[in-house]
Amino acid sequence: MTDIHEYLAEFDDIPGTRVYTAARARQGYHLNQFAMSLMKEENRKRFHADEKAYLDEWPITDEQKQAVLDRDYNRLLDLGGNIYFLSKVFSSDGLSFVQAVSTMTGMSVEDYQAMMMAGGRPAPGNRSIKDKN
């Protein structure tokens, strides 16, 4: 049987990646449920009319609220957000996956798209922090 502690520890060795573990799912529960509420048109309207007021209706931390207001997606991942839920936030802003995802990479949208057209980010060098491969 797999040792759950070893299983989870390996995830932290992947560069530039936050695996959506149970710990993150707990931390981000209400944050993700807030994002989920934007599936409904009337909620999207209320959110965009007054973002702060809408966020205050949810039992989420000030840090999480600020990260939503800043659209800081890496920060949101660190605070327990999951990308499929966060996609409801950027979709409601009219952003595509490519546009939103590129903001997490430190690249401009144009550079990110050019990288994808050229075959994407290579796996070699991006597999492991400790093995540097």
Partner 1 sequence: MARITHGIACSHIPVLGYAFDHGKDGEDYFKPAFEGFDWTRQFMEEEKPDVIVLVYNDHASAFDMKIIPTFAIGTGEIYQPADEGFGARPVPPVEGHADLAWHIAQSLILDEFDMTIINEMEVDHGLTVPLSMMYGHVEKWPVKVIPLAVNVVTYPPPSGNRCWLLGEAIARAVESFPEDLKVQVWGTGGMSHQLQGPRAGLINKEWDNMFLDKLIGDTQDLRHIPHIEYLRETGSEGIEMVMWLIMRGALGKSTKALHRHYHVPVSNTALGHLVLEPVDGSVPPSPTLEGNNAAAQALIA
The contact set with partner 1 (CB under 8 A) reads 7, 10-11, 14-22, 25, 29, 32-33, 35-36, 38-39, 44, 73-74, 77, 82-85, 87-88, 91-92, 96-98, 101-102, 104-106, 112, 115-117, 119-123, 126-128
Nearer to partner 1, 62 or 119 (CB): 119
* Beta carbon of residue 50, minimum distance to partner 1 (angstroms, whole number): 19
User: Residues 6 or more apart from 40 whose CB is under 8 A from it?
Assistant: none
Give me the residue label for tokens 């560069």. 15
Q: Which amino acid is at 37?
A: S
CB 83 within 8 A of CB 66: no
* Beta carbon of residue 66, minimum distance to partner 1 (angstroms, whole number): 19
* Beta carbon of residue 54, minimum distance to partner 1 (angstroms, whole number): 15
Nearer to partner 1, 70 or 97 (CB): 97
* Beta carbon of residue 41, minimum distance to partner 1 (angstroms, whole number): 8
Nearest to 55 by CA among 41, 39, 72, 67: 67
Residues in the chain: 133
SS3 assignment, position 122: coil
